Amino acid sequence: MRFEYLVVKESIDETGLNALGAEGWELVAVTSPAHFVIHHFFKRPA
């Protein structure tokens, strides 16, 4: 199975997460590489 990936480098609220979920994106990881910086990693079938 192939996937496409999305990285969001800004804060996302519940509404934004729900919108991405409705588009088929699954949240797979959240990292904080620096203070006050959050990266959200999503995937979905290609």
Report the alpha-carbon distance of residue 45 to residue 24 in Å, rounded.
8
What integer pLDDT is reported at residue 3 of this predicted model? 98
CA distances from residue 44 to 12, 37, 39, 40 in whole angstroms, order as listed = 18, 24, 17, 14
pLDDT tens digits along 17-43: 999 999 999 999 999 988 888 999 999
pLDDT tens digits along 4-15: 999 999 889 999
pTM of the model: 0.86
